[in-house]
Amino acid sequence: MPLTLNPRAEGLAVSGIRQFFNQLVDYPDAINLTIGQPDFPTPEKVKRAGMDAIAADLTSYSHNAGLIELRQEIAAFFNDRYGLTYEAKSEIIVTNGASEALDSVFRTILDEGDEVIIPAPCYTGYVPIVGLNGGKPVLLNTSDTGLVPTADRLKTLITDKTKAILLNFPSNPTGVTISKEQMEPLVEELKQHEIFIISDEIYSENSFENKHESFASYPEIKDRTFLVQGLSKSHSMTGWRMGFLLGPEQYMAQVLKVHMYNSVCASLPSQHAAIEALKNNRDAPEEMNRAYKERRDFVYGKLVEMGLDVVKPKGAFYIFPSVAKYGMTSFEFATRLLKEGGVAAVPGSAFTEFGEGFLRISYAYSMPTLEQAMERMGEWIKNLEA
Ligand SMILES: Cc1ncc(COP(=O)(O)O)c(C=O)c1O
């Protein structure tokens, strides 16, 4: 008889998305637009700082919360860029990517059965992380409100079991950001309830139009807001595992214990690279954004030409057209686009049931790749309609 395991782990859905990705190997000539990471190298000076750290034997553990020099750089960065004030010593923890920041927060705040409101469609990691930590994800449908949560809907979902809301702007999978006008009614509602706000702003440096607005910039809720951040996207450092968690001192002391026992600390060479990224390479995302914007404009234009209903993204590097009008599930649509059209994109249903009817296209690819992919997709859609 097999040994019993944690039912929460066994119960994790591997879902349709895995099935979809398993098909990719059979279509080696397909153009793959599924990847969620920048297609640029880590900036040269940042790589050098990591290599220098290794050469100098800076390969030990650090303080559990991260090097104080790095935490000071993080504090300075968020102050300069977003006008946010955090205490380096007590309000910042360096984590193994944004993923570990999220996991450590939920491990710290959730008790069995606590509810976490998550606007959806949402990032694939959210529902599993909340569930693994004993929480109950409560999805807030944004699929028919321009992919932005409304205060009216939020109000209907808050119960006496609600422990937190998990927000993500700019968003993966939609590329949509939230304006100040859209944030204010949400903050007004959140002000009235004693719940945590976890704001995953990992794409904040990849905002193309207006300046990024952080949920942590509202003093009324800052004392119970955790800001999840990092360098994975801004500095193309996904493999370095550099995440940052910023939050109020009284709760961060508790999170630090959790982080200490699951990770000890983040990788030290990566921390040295991160100091260089924040000190001398703050303009790296700007250069990448120029390319993303050109690609976004191109792909958006092509999708509109194809007759697809699509919100123009303002950040990250994803676009999320509706494919509902073709009368198939998004899984069927993506599978046929792969097999018949030679283009791979992620079915919206991978991002919860509220992503059904959409397709996530990543444009973290070169212009020639995108041009070829859009041509193939356009042809395929023409045939579909014929
Ligand atoms: C919204 C969102 N949050 C968190 C993560 C995880 O980031 P990291 O690689 O820093 O753990 C991702 C990665 O794709 C993401 O899209």
pLDDT for position 193 = 97
What residue ranges do the domains of the chain occupy?
7-42+284-385, 44-280
Q: What's the pLDDT tens digit per position in 121-130?
A: 999 999 999 9
Q: How far is the CA of 232 from the centre of ligand 1 (A)?
A: 7
| pLDDT (tens digit per residue) in 254-298 | 999 999 999 999 999 999 999 999 999 999 999 999 999 999 999
Residues with CB under 6 A from ligand 1: 36, 97-99, 123, 168, 172, 200, 202, 230, 232, 238, 243
**What mean pLDDT is predicted for residues 248-256?**
98
Q: What does CATH list as the number for 44-280?
A: 3.40.640.10
Q: 99 alpha carbon to ligand 1 midpoint, in Å?
A: 6
- Mean pLDDT of the chain, nearest integer: 96
- How far away, in angstroms, is 98 Cα from ligand 1 center? 6
For residue 121, whether the previous peptide bond is cis, meaning omega lies within 30 degrees of 0, is yes
The pLDDT, as a whole number, for residue 13 is: 81
Ligand 1 pocket mutation pick from 201, 233, 234 by most atoms within 8 angstroms of CB: 233
**pLDDT band at residue 15 under the 50/70/90 scheme:** low
pLDDT at 329: 96
**Ligand 1 atom nearest residue 123's Cα:** 1
The CATH homologous superfamily for domain 7-42+284-385 is Aspartate Aminotransferase, domain 1 (3.90.1150.10)
Instruction: Find the 324 Cα to ligand 1 centroid distance in Å.
Output: 27
Calculate how far, in angstroms, residue 362's C-alpha sits from the geometric centre of ligand 1. 14
Nearest CA to ligand 1 atom 13: 36
pLDDT attached to residue 309? 96
- Return the pLDDT at 16: 61
Q: Assign 72 a pLDDT band (cuts: 50, 70, 90).
A: very high
